[in-house]
Structure 1
Amino acid sequence: MSKILIVEDEQAMLVGLRDNLEFEGYQVETADRGDDGLKKLQAGHFDLVLLDVMLPGLSGFDVCKKARAQGIETPIILLTARGEELDKVLGLELGADDYVTKPFSLRELLARIKVILRRTGNSDKSQNDSLIIGSLQVSFDAYEAFDTKSQPVKMSHKEFEILHYLYRHAGKIVTRDDILDQVWGMDYQPTARTVDNFIVRLRTKIDTPESQHIITVHGVGYKLVL
């Protein structure tokens, strides 16, 4: 399991990132001050750090500079509200591996994390394994799906995310609201009918003539049966 350190002083952002990364299967530690984040980085083994630039104690730039000066090679993604090119260049010159400007897409951040972990060899191999779900062979990490003849199956990111959520709760009933909250989040709320439409599309891709894998629980929601 890849281990990620989040150093962020905005509590809502810190909690949101922690919860989403844990949902994705990462082990997460947090700090809300730059100096505390540097101490944790010095003391523990992490596969990646999400590091805010504007922090109390030490700035993200200073944390990055000191960590690199001490020979700490843990990959660092800077989180910054600033959009100036100079700040981005400075962060990279100080040893950061990447940067994301707030506000950012969670999907984009997750993709950047996965790319860096794969590049550095710190990716959790279990997250890359393909899974058999009905008639599909699926890799949630690579966002790839293949049919029984090993031919690629086109799926949208939302279809992958819904199927991933159902898979994590296989055998359990999940409500439409659960899916809306976990896949679309609080910033944008489609209707429950939107979820139903995505489920219909998923069924055409994973169900076989012999068996249905996404079961409707009337009045409640859905259940994935493997």
Structure 2
Amino acid sequence: MASTATIHLVRHGEVYNPDKVLYGRLDGFGLSELGRQMAEGIAEHFAQRADNGHPLHLLASSPLQRAQETIAPLAAALQLPVIEEERVLEAENAFEGLSNVKHRLRRPRYWPLLLNPFRPTWGEPYKQQVERMLAAVKDLADRAIAEHGDGAEAVVVSHQLPIWVTRLWAEQQPLWHDPRQRECSLTSVTSLHIGPTGVESLSYTEPNRHLSDQALALPGA
């Protein structure tokens, strides 16, 4: 019988960003105090799952500071190393480093970046994001199964847009979307259930809903 695995894609916690910069892949954007509470909440969530018969076997994270800080309490609680996974990095964005992006979009100099929202022309193509995310998920699932057997589970801390477009792909939905409609709150868990044919189903949970409701709507998350 073919083996299975579950890869939990966790979005990082709230970032300290008082100037509301679209930070994208920039260095130096760590978690806020609320974000650190979210990271502790995620650690507790997976510790409870382990107590209920669903232990984690591998941990991986985007190299960005906010992702590394989100996974740190979980790694400490489980005493597991964290694999740094470049392929689950935040999407590239031409507006990275800017604040008040909506206002800036009124300027003609930025209009060429908005020509094709289906691709999108202002950043990394959605298809490319999905491809790199799926490659990372497959490798982690294969490794988890090889090292820990059928039913192995792993957590990967990533970023909203790459997680969301991967979910759209898994649900056979168009990758183009309204960003306001993303169901991927801070420290939410999008679980990909991997079988012989690849991603066979997914589930979504918000362990920190009570905290994410308090979070600021920040760009570049």
What's the TM-score bracket when you normalise by the shorter of the two chains? under 0.3
CA radius of gyration, larger in: 1
Greater relative CO, 1 or 2 (CA 8 Å, sep 6+) = 2
TM-score, normalised by the number of residues in structure 2: 0.27
TM-score, normalised by the number of residues in structure 1: 0.27
